[in-house]
Amino acid sequence: MTFKQKIHQQYSQLVQDKIDVFRDMITALTEDAKNDAKGSAGDKHETALSMMHIEQEKLNHKLGEFMTHKGILDKINPEITTEKISLGSLVQANGMRLYVSLALPKITVEGQTIIAVSLQSPLGNELLGKTVGHQFQIHNTTYLVESID
């Protein structure tokens, strides 16, 4: 497995883990609501159910976000390398390893820190379409594209 494939796999697992957590939380909340419905009545019961419903909507929204993230990651083929930076490129710029994909937390693979950047971010947007040796500036910082995998 290549370095880039390991990065992609770790980010895919991170997103899948989040999806599993949100599904578990939604299931637990649904069970709590069913159990609460059996033994309660009155205004307190209605308020509790209403609060559970609001929380469930929030969790469903977060679950939807991560399902979208999973869909984007599933479209990336980590075996492909291009001359120009695109979705799925692993870029070295200013000594940083940047995985052009989604805004996700930093990870460490084989002792190297990887920063995931989305195409919607200023850095990701500026990287798009660039080639090795290209320089650009964001917020008084000049970046040099050193390599693309």
pLDDT in tens, 132-148: 999 999 999 999 999 99
What pLDDT, on a 0 to 100 scale, did the predictor assign at position 36?
64
For residue 62 the two structure tokens come to: 């977060």
On the 0-12 / 13-18 / 19+ scale of CB atoms within 10 A, 36 is: middle
What pLDDT, on a 0 to 100 scale, did the predictor assign at position 83?
94
Enter the DSSP assignment of 85: -
- Convert the pLDDT of each residue in 8-66 to its tens digit: 999 999 999 999 999 999 999 888 777 765 555 556 667 777 888 899 999 999 999 99
Amino acid symbol at 123: L
Which residue, among 149, 145, 113, 118, has the nearest Cα to 132 in the 3D structure? Answer: 145
Distances in whole angstroms, Cα of residue 27 to Cα of each of 49, 60, 69, 122, 143: 15, 11, 21, 37, 46
Enter the DSSP assignment of 94: T
pTM for the model stands at: 0.87
Which residue, among 125, 126, 103, has the nearest Cα to 115 in the 3D structure? Answer: 103
> What does the alpha-carbon distance between residue 76 and residue 15 come to, in Å, rounded to a whole number?
14
Distances in whole angstroms, Cα of residue 90 to Cα of each of 12, 102, 133, 138: 15, 12, 15, 19
Q: Which whole number is the average pLDDT over 77-101? A: 96
> What does the alpha-carbon distance between residue 149 and residue 139 come to, in Å, rounded to a whole number?
26
